[in-house]
Amino acid sequence: MNNNIKIYIGILVFVFTLIVLADKEKPKEIDWRPTYDTGDKIPFGLYVLDHEIKGFFKNQNIERISNQTAYEFLVSKLNDDADFNPYEDPEANPDENDFNINTYTIRGTFLNISESDNIDEQSMKEVFDFVSNGNTAFLSMKAFPKILLDSLKIQLKTDFLPADSISVWMANKKISNKKYVFNTGLSDYFSKIDTLNTTILGYQNRAHNERSVNFIKVPFYNGFFYLHTQPAAFTNYNLLRKNNAQYAENVLSYISKYDVFWYTKPLNGEKVSDSSMRYFLSQPALKWGWYLFLIGMLIFMIFNAKRKQRVVPIIKPLSNSTVDFTKTIGNLYYQEGDHTNIIDKKIIYFLEKIRTEYLIDTTKLNEEFIKKLHHKTGKNLSDIEDLVYLINEHRKSYHGSLEEDLIRINNAIEKILN
């Protein structure tokens, strides 16, 4: 390991140590998000309820629904012979005889606790069918599905009251005559209900010492809906504060003795990761330590990937001695002033090239030769005629050629070959 790598590693360790020390001294912020997730230990999570729910429902089987919608779960529990759902036809007007308590293979209570509506319309229709067949549904949320409010003819309103000023209590004094105080702004209540069919089970205070309804029981064909507007009563913060857990126990005591099917799917269908790194990444210090480790390893690999062998020397390619030899011979002829010999060799080279590339007979440089060379090369006819004329004149001449003759013939040949 060279010195540069040691320096990089030392810097990373130093930075990591500073981050850990800074994070250790920093007070951990409280996450007040109302997630209502059974895996969250934050104030508005349901971690405590998830671990203590067996104490609320003694001798009852509790099944959690987290990886399915309510529709998918309930449909999977239908009897094979139960093919008819009155709500599948939008024009149907079902009556009590349309439902059979044996439609489902299960019997009990559909339980859902959430900040707001997390049940889609198709699932809500299936919940209606489930309740209609002699079962119950317990829904505790601040905003109920619109189809539920419309079907049961109820309305909601919200009061904004200061903290530590909201009291809740049960309507039935035999269950409890205590008032429980919350400081989480529990202010939603039922502003309109069907008084002929609805049973009031709980109240909360409003401004000016008025009271409002926050817990009701509504019959629906062969079953019942239990609607509760204070889901915060079941969160970690309130279950662990004073004796507020008694209030949650009193509310849940209305649930029937049969099985409980707890719909724990988070809002918007978010699922808790099953990754083995889930807890590790959920802790800020561990998460940033992991990221710094990955970044450090990446930097190490980048710098360590350099070639460690010696520099390969540059070897110049061998020069083309044939070209140098030709240049030397050409210079000798030119310096000697033997222009006739140079012209003869250029003519021989030219005619040989014409014979090998264009397969034209060069024995006679006449009109027929000129026409063939023009057709095959596509060169200008006048340039070919000039070259043939110069070659023939050179061959007829008996006196030595001059430098000007060499230049003219060379230029004429270059026009044809290039």
Residues 118-148 have pLDDT tens digits of 888 999 999 999 999 999 999 999 889 999 9
- Section 296-314 average pLDDT: 72
Least confidently predicted of 268-272, 290-294, 301-305: 268-272
Residues paired with 192 in a beta bridge: 155
- Between 193 and 291, the more confident residue is 193
pLDDT mean over 372-383: 88
For residue 29, what is the DSSP state?
P
Query: Could you give the CA distance from residue 55 to residue 25 in angstroms, rounded to a whole number?
Result: 39
324-362 pLDDT, tens digit per residue, is 666 676 666 666 667 788 888 888 888 888 888 888 888
Among residues of the chain, what percentage have pLDDT more than 70?
78
C-alpha angle 350-352-357 in degrees, rounded to nearest 5? 95
Angle between helices 403-417 and 339-358 (to 10 degrees): 10
Tokens, residue 404:
């000007």
Token pair for 94: 């079902």
Pairing relation of β-strands 166-170 and 199-205? antiparallel
Give the integer Cα–Cα distance in Å for 148 and 109: 17
What is the rounded average pLDDT of the residues 151-161?
Answer: 86
- Ranking 12-21, 133-142, 224-233, 322-331 by mean pLDDT, the lowest is 322-331
Q: Which CATH architecture has domain 47-272?
A: 3-Layer(aba) Sandwich (3.40)
**228 has which bridge partners?**
140, 215
Four-point Cα dihedral 31, 36, 41, 43, nearest 10: 50
Calculate the CA 396 to chain-centre distance: 88
Backbone angles phi, psi at 11, to 5 degrees: -65, -45
Q: Which two tokens stand for residue 232?
A: 């915060």
Q: Where are the domains of the chain?
A: 47-272, 337-417
Among 172-176, 277-281, 404-408, top mean pLDDT goes to: 172-176
